[in-house]
A = this chain, B = another copy of it.
């Protein structure tokens, strides 16, 4: 990645982590707030909030309007990880190189911390979005947020994923899982960024397609890394897909063909930006970081 793009990534990550820290207080009862903060502030690539902020900036010249929404999406993403890691779901001990929430605290705290984040995230959108954004637009963003978080998107993906363990699923089912489990939040990020950046329908649709390609590339890389990476590099347990007999892109296409698909999806994503005259080093940088990701 070029030095100038790397610097922009670092600046965004710094801003996002500072705002997440600021938005999440420690109140009574401390344990629940601390467990929410533990997972939200545990690092991570912050790709989703970065996509939201940059999309808004590239369209309107400023990202200030999008900061609460960007942070809310990261909280939602964290919530889904906390609950995914629970013993009754993926039963993971490590996430982002640290103990998972239920291992650090307790299972009941992890369930409740996830629940609390699910309410707190949209609350932040309402309370912290600047008054310069119309109420209409805040409601539109909230609606997209809540749909993406729910049983029509994120949770639909998770449910079908769990149901598919140990089963021979077809490519359509695998695509459904990834479009919803991973794609939904990438789409939400650019769509809300675009709404807050006053984009027209055509641009919103183009960015949605961009996010679709990118989300799928991200997920295929996830499958690849689960095969090729170590716990140290990955920050979470590798080799889980095989252990849980999960059908992945690798099982359909093999490692080499999967890598080619990532490259092709990343190219398609960048082409969409170019065709729609959306010029952003950060958006293309995110795509590049996916094709080159090692964790």
Inter-subunit contact B111/A111 (CB<8 Å): yes
**Per-residue interface assignment for chain A, residues 138 to 164, with 1 indicating a CB less than 8 Å from any chain B CB and 0 otherwise:** 110011001101111001101110110
A230 interfacial contact with B, CB 8 Å:
no
**Interface residue? A227 (CB, 8 A):** no
Is the pair B143, A126 in contact by a Cβ cutoff of 8 Å? yes
Complex contact B88–A108 (CB within 8 A)? yes
B136 and A107 contacting across the interface, CB-CB below 8 Å:
no
The stretch from A30-38, A41-49, A254-262 touching chain B is: A30-38
Chain B residue nearest to A90 (CB atoms) is B108
Residues of B close to A160: CB separation below 8 A: 29
Among B28, B120, B136, B146, point to the contact of A135 (Cβ < 8 A): B136
Across the interface, do B150 and A116 meet the contact criterion of CB distance under 8 Å? yes
**Given the contacts A29-B160, A112-B83, A159-B31, A107 and B88 also touching, CB distance less than 8 Å:** yes
Q: A86 an interface residue at 8 Å Cβ cutoff?
A: yes
The answer to whether A183 has its CB under 8 Å from any CB of chain B is no
- Provide the bound-state CA to CA distance between A160 and B147, in Å: 31
Query: Among B27, B162, B163, which residue has its beta carbon within 8 angstroms of that of A152?
Result: B27
In contact, B142 and A126 (Cβ under 8 angstroms): yes
Contact of A119 with B139 in the complex, beta carbons under 8 Å: no
Any chain B CB within 8 A of the CB of A118? yes
Interface: A169 (CB within 8 A) = no
Q: Is A114's beta carbon under 8 Å from chain B?
A: yes
Say whether A289 faces chain B, with CB atoms less than 8 Å apart. Answer: no
A123 on the B face (CB < 8 A): yes
| Given A32-B159, A143-B126, CB of A115 within 8 Å of CB of B118 | yes
Give the chain B neighbours of A27 by CB distance below 8 A.
151-152, 156
Closest to A180 in B: B29
16 extra interface residue pairs, beta carbon distance < 8 Å, beyond A115-B155, A119-B150, A135-B135: A32-B156, A79-B115, A83-B111, A83-B112, A83-B115, A112-B155, A115-B118, A115-B149, A116-B155, A119-B147, A119-B155, A123-B147, A126-B139, A126-B146, A127-B143, A139-B139
